[in-house]
Amino acid sequence: MTNFCLQNIEWCYVFIVKPGIRVAAILSSNGKNINFIGYGKYVGDDVPGLEAVGPMAEAMRKNGQKNPKIILDNGDVVWGCECWWGDADDFEKKFAGRKLNQVDLNKFRQDARIALASRRGGIDLDGVGDLPED
């Protein structure tokens, strides 16, 4: 069970999330357009897998910290540290009429790895983390 606050100007509240709840996951929003990852199910907390990108994912893996795990309807896994997420019904009510831009999660992750590799001076497209340390 996760105590979670989604910090988005229009979609911020604290709620207790139990595994099995249907959720919506977004990458970002500018108020009119939403970069939408997809719908799925919160299945509990676990240490983010190697597929997860970003400094929070790296830190959680390194320290063995658990993070919300969401299995999307298409079978992909997205982690709470990679997105904004919350109750699907609330999402549909709050963002009705907004334009949803579908995000390709795998492309987003690949682009994030390329950007990180560029900053670190190496290439890591498989997510294994064999880049030189900062």
Domain housing 86: 2-102
Is 115 within the bounds of a domain? Answer: no
Single out the residue of 32, 31, 24 nearest to residue 8, CA to CA. 31
E strand or H helix at 116: helix 105-120
For residue range 71-119, what is the model confidence (pLDDT) as tens digits?
999 999 999 999 999 889 988 888 888 999 999 999 999 999 888 877 7
Is 127 within the bounds of a domain? Answer: no
- Band (9; pLDDT cuts 50, 70, 90): very low
pLDDT value at residue 110: 93
- By mean pLDDT, which of 19-23, 64-68, 73-77, 91-95 is the weakest? 91-95
DSSP 96-110: TTPEEEE--HHHHHH
Is 72 within the bounds of a domain? Answer: yes
pLDDT value at residue 23: 93
Instruction: Determine contact, residues 67/88, Cβ cutoff 8 Å.
Output: no
pLDDT value at residue 90: 87
Is 33 within the bounds of a domain? Answer: yes
Is 63 within the bounds of a domain? Answer: yes
Quote the CA–CA distance of 121 and 53 in Å, as a whole number: 17
For residue 44, the tally of other CB atoms under 10 A from its CB is 14
Is 8 within the bounds of a domain? Answer: yes
pLDDT value at residue 129: 43
Q: What is the pTM of this model?
A: 0.78
Is 130 within the bounds of a domain? Answer: no
pLDDT value at residue 7: 46
Is 16 within the bounds of a domain? Answer: yes
| Position 125 pLDDT exceeds 60 | no
For residue range 26-63, what is the model confidence (pLDDT) as tens digits?
998 887 889 999 999 999 999 999 999 999 999 999 99
Quote the CA–CA distance of 3 and 113 in Å, as a whole number: 29
- Band (130; pLDDT cuts 50, 70, 90): very low
Report the number of distinct structural domains present in the chain: 1
Quote the CA–CA distance of 46 and 105 in Å, as a whole number: 19
